Amino acid sequence: MTTHECRKIQCIADERLFGDTFIRAEKLGQFEYVVADIFIYNSNCIYACSTFEQRYEWLKDLLKFVHHIPGTARFIHKSDLSPTQKLKGYEVHIDDVGKPGYFVDVDSSSSGVDVVKLSIPDCYEVNSGGYLRVPDIKTSEYLRSKGHKFKCQCSKNDDGSWTLLENIP
């Protein structure tokens, strides 16, 4: 599945609670999904009027009304994962209403890439090749605060450039 792919998932839920409901989930098994976020609940867009923290806590309570029987989806809240269940990554969110988060891959073998600030303003070279993108002033200020050489979590783009994955305060 891709980040933009939508699927209908069969589940057993009280129809008085669930009209049109859109969630974002990561598939673990044939019928197991870890619920990451909720966008629309009962035809109401709650994403635009709540923070991620609010939605995260609300989802935990909401999942009590979704019942699992064999052959239908089993939704798991991230706080209820067992140590044997592994995720591809996690989402980092700023605490602003309606703001999207970004996905960070779980890679325990990597502590980030080495980055060097160049003499040209807002130009940073990644030691493994390519340049770090600086899309806005907030990112620029954050990178300037890191010093001349530093490590950071990044993902490589198709064009050879890099995108910062860290949560910018």
pLDDT in tens, the chain (169 residues): 445 566 777 777 776 666 777 888 888 877 888 888 888 888 888 888 888 888 888 888 888 888 788 888 888 888 888 777 767 666 666 667 766 666 666 654 456 889 999 999 999 999 989 999 998 898 899 999 999 999 988 888 888 889 888 777 6
Q: In the numeric block, which tokens belong to residue 150? A: 């530093």
Distance CA 154, CA 169 (A): 16
Residue type, 149: K
98 in the same domain as 53: yes
34 in the same domain as 69: yes
Which residues form the domain of 132? Answer: 113-164
136 in the same domain as 98: no
The pTM score is 0.53
Count the neighbouring beta carbons within 10 Å of the beta carbon of residue 88: 13
47 in the same domain as 84: yes
Q: In the numeric block, which tokens belong to residue 162? A: 């890099």
18 in the same domain as 99: yes
In a domain, 169, yes or no: no
119 in the same domain as 135: yes
Q: In the numeric block, which tokens belong to residue 169? A: 């305060």
77 in the same domain as 101: yes
